Amino acid sequence: MAFPPLVHHASEDDYRKHFERVYCRRPVETFDGIKVRFRKGQFSHCFFESSRRDGNKDAFSPQRAERIDWIKATLQDPDAELYVGWDKARKRYDRSRRVALVQGNYVVVIRITGKAKADFVTAFVGDTPRPRGGKTSVEQIRGGPRWE
């Protein structure tokens, strides 16, 4: 599947308006019929990252933002690799979370909330190694169970 070109806006506010216009007005339907709902407040979680790798998302990420149109494309891609998500708090796999992986390292996470319904969680480029020589996010995802 061909993916949309990267998006280049002049400001963070322009990306926020784009997100709200494209994603927050109506659910995006996945290739397999799940309606994914987006909330305005998720913009910061999705398009900011931690500048100190301490979990505090304090820096706007142009790398994440320019892939804003890839979120919808990923959800609608029938060739995406699908995995069961990880619940960091409980330190276990969580079948209510679905992870889609495309383009080798682009990740979109949704949380299933009902029959054919879900909430968007986040999206990111999963190529950053974990501290102390750990695996990248993509390597960790691919080591988990496939979504069925």
Residue 49 has a pLDDT of 87
Question: How does pLDDT run across 70-129, given as a tens digit for each residue?
Answer: 999 999 999 999 999 999 899 999 999 999 999 999 999 999 999 999 999 999 998 876
Q: Which residue has the higher pLDDT, 20 or 56?
A: 20
Q: Write down the domain spans for the chain.
A: 12-142
Q: What SS3 state is found at 14?
A: helix
Question: How does pLDDT run across 39-69, given as a tens digit for each residue?
Answer: 999 999 899 988 776 677 878 999 999 999 9
pTM over 0.75: yes
